[in-house]
Chains A and B, each alone.
Chain A
Amino acid sequence: MGIINKSRIKSPWLLHYDGSSCNGCDIEILACLTPVYDVERFGIINTGNPKHADILLITGGVNNRAARVVKNLYEQMPEPKVVVAVGACACTGGIFHDCYNMLGGINKVIPVDVYVPGCAARPEAIIDGVVEALKVLEIKTAKEVAV
């Protein structure tokens, strides 16, 4: 494993986007950054800029209005990138799945790599999801090398 691949796993920068969430999962994501959970231990930084990010964390399902934004954010992120759907709504649409304006989970718009269930997803679960995402990133970069 080269030094760049090793660094990819050691330094995942997050982009957090609220699709159409009730804000429950968003607060849990922000809780991960507090001294109690301190995700900077893993080199994780909440960037808020798609051009700097490696991992896209999306909360809430996708509605007609947010679909465009989610696609745009995903396309602005440089490769290699991973998408994590946080919370029941982001995974499947959750309790909003029947609404007239909902498309459903994030995977209706962009490819999702890791699903973190829960309503709201607990900070421990979110950190676990990001660590799983790092494994996906590892597999993705290994494939890149093979090709």
Chain B
Amino acid sequence: MNQLIIALLVIIIAPVLGGLLSGVDRVLTARMQGRVGPPVLQPFYDVFKLLGKEPIAFNQRQIMWALGYLALMIASLLIFCLGGDLLIIVFTMAFAAVSFILGGFSVKSPYSHIGSQRELLQMLAYEPVLILLAIGVYMQTGSFMVGNLFKQSTPLLVSMPLILIALIIILTIKMRKSPFDLSTSHHGHQELIKGITTEYSGPYLALIEVTHWYELILVLGLVAMFWLQPIWVGILLALVAFFIELVIDNICARLTWDWMLKVTWSSGIILCLINLGIIYVQGKGGM
């Protein structure tokens, strides 16, 4: 019963928080560019407007994949907030991203296809780091369960600082920020980069926008996971990571996909592996 209430709260509160955060994102980005920027509630205006527009879809599959993307993203956020298995969260997130990609592939537009292929490359870039993060949590606590982390006396950050840096690198991809906003972006609305969302319009685009809010909360939750006792330090950590992403977004140009793979695979995976090695050696010494 208690879990049901938490689940309901998460489903209602997460998009509100995510929307507010993306509004703050737009205002801060505008200030960094020397502009005034839109009101903080702008993302909500956008979504409500899109919900009120005429629904146009190419085929049923396109709608189904957009709904699947939303449902699977909510599912992975729920598993996270209910203290579930970290591996399952990573896989559900991957399945959500796959629905999004199939939605892009279900129409004939070449722009949509290019966006989908780039999204596939992005998955290739960030999945290894997420899996290594889960392995790190297992090696440290002996369990994949997020709920177990609350019982740890020392925060994860102490033992896994390098993995946090790797996570911040892939956060750029997950938040769709420069330099790795290849498949679809918050900026460059008139470019090829709108890619995967090109063929979505009206209410279906609103669905995707809301899913991004859930996704934002989930990835920031993964950062907050590094310091759960007390939890406000973790939330602060997530907000700092959010701000770092905005700064990176505004000082970087967009890079090509091979740069994305080089950076995430070289620095991301190597940082994770070094950290896992240190945990392993320390574990041996402790025994």
Q: Is the CB of B30 within 8 A of A51?
A: no
Report whether A3 and B201 are in contact in the complex, using a CB–CB cutoff of 8 Å.
no
A38 touches B53 (CB 8 A): no
Chain B residues with CB below 8 A from A3, complex form: 48
**When the two chains form their complex, are residues B48 and A41 in contact, meaning their CB atoms are under 8 A apart?**
no
Q: How many interface residues does A have (CB within 8 Å)?
A: 27
Judged by a CB distance under 8 angstroms, whether A70 is at the interface is no
From the candidates A7, A35, A46, name the one contacting B45 in the complex (CB within 8 A).
A7
B175 within 8 A of A: no
CA distance A80 to B52 in the complex (A): 9
Query: A40 contacts B189, CB within 8 Å?
Result: no
- Contact between chains at A78 and B56 (CB < 8 Å): yes
Binds A, one of B13-21, B32-40, B258-266: B32-40
Asked whether B52 lies within 8 Å of A41 as measured between CB atoms, the reply is no
CB distance from B185 to the nearest CB of A (A): 12
- Is there an interface contact between B30 and A4, defined as CB atoms closer than 8 Å? no
Interface presence of A107 (CB below 8 A): no
Q: Which of A7, A41, A78, A80 contacts B37 (CB 8 A)?
A: A41
Q: Known contacts being A4-B48, A11-B46, A78-B54, is A48 close to B38, with CB within 8 Å?
A: no
* Min CB–CB distance B208 → chain A (angstroms): 11
Q: How many A-B pairs fall under 8 Å by CB?
A: 85
Inter-chain contact A35/B35, CB cutoff 8 Å? yes
B189: chain A residues within 8 A (beta carbon): 13, 45-49, 52
Q: A5-B52, A43-B46, A51-B201 are in contact. Are A38 and B194 (CB under 8 A)?
A: no
B202/A35 in contact, CB under 8 A: no
Chain A positions within 8 Å of B38 at CB level: 40-43
Which residue from chain A places its CB closest to the CB of B29 in the assembled complex?
Answer: A40
Find residues 44-89 in chain B having any chain A CB closer than 8 Å to their own CB. Answer: 44-49, 51-56
Inter-subunit contact A79/B54 (CB<8 Å): yes
Please give the distance in Å from A105's CB to the nearest CB on chain B.
Answer: 24
A-side contacts of B46, CB under 8 Å: 7, 11, 43
Q: Judge whether A65 is part of the interface by a CB distance below 8 angstroms.
A: no
A10 at the binding interface (Cβ < 8 Å): yes
**Is A97 part of the binding interface, using a Cβ–Cβ cutoff of 8 Å?**
no
Contacting pair B42 A35 (CB below 8 A) = no
Indicate whether A11 sits within 8 Å of B33 (C-beta atoms), given known contacts A48-B191, A79-B53: no
A43-B46, A45-B189, A52-B189 are known; give 7 further A-B pairs, CB within 8 A. Answer: A40-B26, A40-B35, A40-B38, A41-B35, A47-B189, A51-B199, A78-B53
